[in-house]
Chains A and B, each alone.
Chain A
């Protein structure tokens, strides 16, 4: 009897903590992304994607009663040519088994980590991450790069989104309806997200879009008058670029 009582907490703990893997499918619209393939923006600009890296932090699963189960940790998701784009595992966490009504997280580095001395930070932070922003200390949160196929030839473009104002909140929970159901059995499971990379190119107010014919817009990374509106457009689009895959 006593031995049974002694083992109870251990048994409960193992039942509570189920391993969950967060996976990502990269999409262009509803199709799987392929790196060397040429796509078109809604404005008819042909392009290819070459690199995507972004931070995921402040992850939490949302219970049916609205309470959140937080998963510690910060990860750097990385996608590049000759590497898989579908079902890529980006994070592992332990959560209590049970029913959830969604997941929420931020694309970015939490404010309290974003401005520490990058020389002393370890991966996935620090300068070796390739995400440190030297002229504007802090990290690039979302780094998308590719080429535009312009009449004059291939031109490289980048979208580097960062600074505390552009930490992207992703909220994939629904407590009102039963539309979102995530069941985590005691043995664990995975949550797969679709990320529509092309969402960044949707036009904003007044039809504003990232026009790669203009050289100044091929480097979207600061807050100059010319680029700040477009940064906001991309930021707004990115909030709805993630969806639950299953």
Chain B
């Protein structure tokens, strides 16, 4: 009887193993192109994950001129109604393209948003965008902040007119797209720039590349916890990007003021579901959660350690973890080892 059980367990483990191998993200040859030229900072070692090809949609191939135009647009506040808000106002390079300590961001005319600006680290690899995860690609995502009344607040006609009246832009759009500026081509250029925002120079990446000394002892212990059932972080923060890109309820509240995915679907079971964020450069992107309500990494880890608030929609994996204070410290050390200090200083990612 005992041997029979062991046999079944063995088969089950083999099945899980095969599934994991099958599901592990790998480059898709059909939708990819050779990596764009300016993507990796010269200081970056050849980390294993950096060798993956960036997925590029067929209708928006990367070219150096388009990336350069996208970079200028990304940092230009003239893309907003009051001329004061650029993409980079809330996605600041020095904070891994998040909003530098602000729970929510400030848009045109001082209007407050309602959600925390996410990091753009390796955003080329996101399969779903926005906190609900409802936008399929960067080109279409960019329409949101450009037109939202509390972000940049532009109408398509107004944006086209304003950019068309700036000779450098009129010329650059003509060269890159063969037509005058429109909302669509603006988002295509910005998306091309965003696809170059690659970051693979963290201690964790250097450790992966073979540098045994790259991570501290505490970070290594934290890594073991992170990828164990005990810490149980890796089911959602999975793969080279540390995210499954799926919406989940993390039991942050019992009653959510912002209902998350349900705002779009209207379904009760989607209340409080927000997309799993990447953990790359997470030490630079405080505060945390969709509303920026958790100030520090340690508090974020403690939230999961305690199992959150009672919530019927809470993800099945949310439960008290029983981690000691020392284990929480180790996890935080590991999360800090995901920081790529060169990301925010790469001149290719800074204002032109």
Residues of A within 8 A of B (CB): 117-120, 126-130, 132, 134-137, 156, 158, 163, 165, 219, 222-225, 228
Contact = CB atoms under 8 A, between A and B. Distances in A.
B140 A118 contact: yes
A148 B140 CA distance: 31
Nearest to A165: B266
Contacts of A137: 134-136, 140
Given A128-B182, A158-B149, 6 more contacts: A117-B137, A118-B140, A118-B143, A134-B142, A134-B144, A135-B264
Interface of B: 57, 59-60, 130, 132, 134-137, 139-144, 147, 149, 155-157, 160, 182-184, 187-188, 259, 262-266
27 contacts: A119-B57, A119-B184, A119-B187, A127-B143, A127-B156, A127-B187, A128-B156, A130-B147, A130-B156, A130-B183, A134-B135, A134-B141, A134-B144, A134-B147, A135-B132, A135-B134, A137-B134, A137-B135, A137-B140, A158-B149, A163-B264, A223-B262, A223-B263, A223-B265, A223-B266, A224-B262, A224-B263
B110 to A, nearest CB: 14
B264 A136 contact: yes
B263 A222 contact: yes
Contacts of B160: 128
B184 A128 contact: yes
Contacts, number: 74
B118 to A, nearest CB: 13
A118 B264 CA distance: 18
A12 to B, nearest CB: 44
Contacts of B59: 119-120
Most buried by B among A120, A127, A156: A127
Nearest to A121: B184
Interface centre among A117, A134, A136, A223 (most CB of B within 10 A): A134
Contacts of A224: 259, 262-263
Contacts of A119: 57, 59-60, 137, 139-140, 184, 187-188
A160 B160 CA distance: 22
Nearest to A118: B140
B30 to A, nearest CB: 16
A163 B263 CA distance: 11
A132 B263 contact: no
4 shortest interchain CB distances as A-B pairs: A134-B144, A223-B266, A222-B263, A134-B143
A11 B203 CA distance: 81
Contacts of B262: 223-224
Contacts of B149: 156, 158, 219
A136 B134 contact: yes
B136 A117 contact: yes
A224 B255 CA distance: 13
A22 B132 CA distance: 39
B200 to A, nearest CB: 28
Contacts of A156: 149
A139 B135 CA distance: 13
B156 A129 contact: yes
